[in-house]
Chain A
Amino acid sequence: DGGITQSPKYLFRKEGQNVTLSCEQNLNHDAMYWYRQDPGQGLRLIYYSQIVNDFQKGDIAEGYSVSREKKESFPLTVTSAQKNPTAFYLCASTQTVRGVLEAFFGQGTRLTVV
């Protein structure tokens, strides 16, 4: 079955460490996205990528980095420059089919700084 896989489900980071969250999709979607969700808040866009080897900053890109070397993979690195990284991270992919935008989400990664 096609879908998006995020790993790990839970991740703990020490102060000053970089960590990388994985996102893989087998939907053959061109566009992929990373969102962050804080308690009681909606989803805020961190980075997005429309095609391989290209990506754009979203609303809250500071302290994060991404790569898009393969169509199916869009890993997110939370760097030590991100001062408050504890949050729920969601990866998504989209495709426009017959003029309608379809969106799919992974199951999320909960990151906690210890």
Chain B
Amino acid sequence: QKEVEQNSGPLSVPEGAIASLNCTYSDRGSQSFFWYRQYSGKSPELIMFIYSNGDKEDGRFTAQLNKASQYVSLLIRDSQPSDSATYLCAGGGGGADGLTFGKGTHLIIQP
């Protein structure tokens, strides 16, 4: 059974600080990893995807992938109250059954 594990939180971070979200996965065949942000009652929206070991930066967001440790993380710099949401980690590409999602981490940015 493919699994993606996330700490459900809530993770509370002061405004302007760095928020660090972590995710581990069990399927070594997974090739692509995704971070989605989901506001309550809304559809997930893609923030970043990563498929190579190392870091990938996009604005205030940095995704990190370590395939040897089966670990994916998302860093949010200069956290804003609007970043408060649930962040879903997903892995895929290791088979025909699409993406496997974690349960999400609830992030709260305190003004």
Which B residues, 64 to 86, have Cβ-Cβ distances below 8 Å to chain A? Answer: none
Decide if B41 is an interface residue (CB 8 Å cutoff).
yes
What is the bound-complex CA distance between A101 and B44, given in angstroms?
17
A41 pairs with B103, CB closer than 8 A:
yes
A contacts with B: majority SS: strand
Task: State which size class the interface on B falls in.
Answer: 20 to 34
**Which residue, of A33, A103, A105, has the highest number of chain B Cβ atoms within 10 A?**
A103
What is the bound-complex CA distance between A44 and B45, given in angstroms?
17
A92 pairs with B88, CB closer than 8 A:
no
Q: Mark A41-52, 1 if CB is under 8 A from B, else 0.
A: 111110010100
Decide if B48 is an interface residue (CB 8 Å cutoff).
no
B34 pairs with A103, CB closer than 8 A:
yes
Decide if A18 is an interface residue (CB 8 Å cutoff).
no
B98 pairs with A48, CB closer than 8 A:
yes
Decide if A111 is an interface residue (CB 8 Å cutoff).
no
Q: Which 6 A-B pairs have the closest CB atoms?
A: A42-B103, A101-B32, A101-B93, A43-B101, A42-B101, A108-B43
Query: B-side interface residues toward A, CB under 8 Å?
Result: 4, 6, 8, 31-32, 34, 41-46, 49, 51, 88, 90, 92-93, 96-104
Q: List 19 A-B contacts (CB under 8 A).
A: A41-B104, A42-B88, A43-B99, A48-B97, A58-B97, A88-B41, A90-B43, A90-B44, A92-B98, A99-B51, A100-B32, A100-B49, A101-B32, A101-B99, A103-B34, A105-B44, A105-B45, A106-B43, A110-B41
